[in-house]
Chains A and B, each alone.
Chain A
């Protein structure tokens, strides 16, 4: 395989520029994986890897991924918050790669909240 060089970036940039004009990059869903010490220790990294793989495989452009710190419920980590535009945020508890795949396919893509994994509805209020 040829070496990856900085020139490849220029080609990618041109390619992306062409594609960008075709669609608008509006975000529809924001997914937050809680990455505090507790989250990382209980497997949030693997959950995040799975989520990124799924997004790439599904080729969706309107899902934004971010991380946050611990919210004080360390015993229920890994936690994932799914915020669909104009809907209340949903927090999932004890997430693992399999649950993450299901949440991605059923909730993020199809809009069905996966009730058995839900910890709470709404966003946390930080004291």
Chain B
């Protein structure tokens, strides 16, 4: 474990920031361009995981455990969100037989 931390700290912090910004952007683009509710949902998870990775990197670099504790908060609440979100998607599927968000235009945007 010690070894892992030193190795992680060996990579410059900037690289983590760039990597996470790229992953986060991919998630944002996914949410904005995809039409399938499940894929949008996966893109959101990608955004959250970019955040988790960056928090861990910051936490290791500044020798402060609170960042890693925050990661647990994010994971727990993301799981709660998944449970509710998938239930909502299933409910929509039962009524419309589709999870394409283009059919969700009966109320106009």
Is B truly associated with A?
Answer: no
Using a CB–CB distance below 8 Å, which chain A residues touch chain B?
A: none
